[in-house]
Amino acid sequence: MATKKAAKKQPKAKKKAAEEKLVTVFLMGKAYKVPADATIMGAIEYAGYQMKRGAGCREGFCGACATVYRMPGDYKIYTGLACTTLVEEGMWLTQLPASPAHKAIYDIRKLKPEVATIQALYPEVFRCVACNTCTKACPQDLEVMDYIQAAKRGDIAAVMDLSFDCVMCGLCAIRCPSEIVQFNVGLLAKRLYGRYLAPRSPELEKRIKEIKKRKFDKEYDEFMSAKKDELKKIYFDRDLE
């Protein structure tokens, strides 16, 4: 979500803009001239808007800047992340700082990694018509439809694997004609896999026991009370395997 900032005189910026190749894009329904090599996010800020929501990592990893857009003469609706998608001449866009999505409430300790769990929590999965629109909408190029099909079979490991790099931007869900919230199905599968199917790590079990016994409390207190320079020295002097 962006809000318009008060305009300031920027003679150097205007001179620079005159030397740049500009394209016209439509932001919030209004036309703006922006640099042709700008990302959508960069174009929004160049136009004078301040990003209040929908700007997280700015590197394509957090999914906060979901965007939909159309191109002139093209009936299709395209999707992308504003921080990694470049503007194009005539692009008409809007951001989706949040995607409304049903999320089941559950106690992972009371679930089983099986198809019955999917049926109980996300029955809409079984309305999937295999149109592949979700996959086409994914800015991460994930095989979204494939992991929904795996969910219908109860193959929790496959759902976890295929959805592992999901950034939960919500673009798959807003384009789905069957109204499935694919990213929440993937999240459920990852949680089920982590609790019931993933190989157990004896090292992790050991460390958890040590934490519960408060073995590291003294070190935590020292870190919390240390000054910035002390923390930097500790960080750079640490042993690396």
pLDDT at site 186: 98
| CA separation for the pair 43, 25 (Å, rounded) | 8
pLDDT reading at 14 higher than 60:
no
| CA separation for the pair 57, 44 (Å, rounded) | 16
Tell me which of 3.50.50.60, 1.10.10.10, 1.10.1060.10, 3.60.140.10 is the CATH number of domain 108-197: 1.10.1060.10
pLDDT at site 172: 95
Closest CA to 50 of 3, 14, 83: 3
pLDDT at site 50: 87
The CATH T-level fold of domain 2-95 is Ubiquitin-like (UB roll) (3.10.20)
pLDDT reading at 206 higher than 60:
yes
Q: Where are the domains of the chain?
A: 2-95, 108-197, 202-237
Q: Ramachandran region of residue 201, left (φ > 0), alpha (ψ -120 to 50) or beta? A: beta
CB neighbourhood size of 141 (10 A): 9
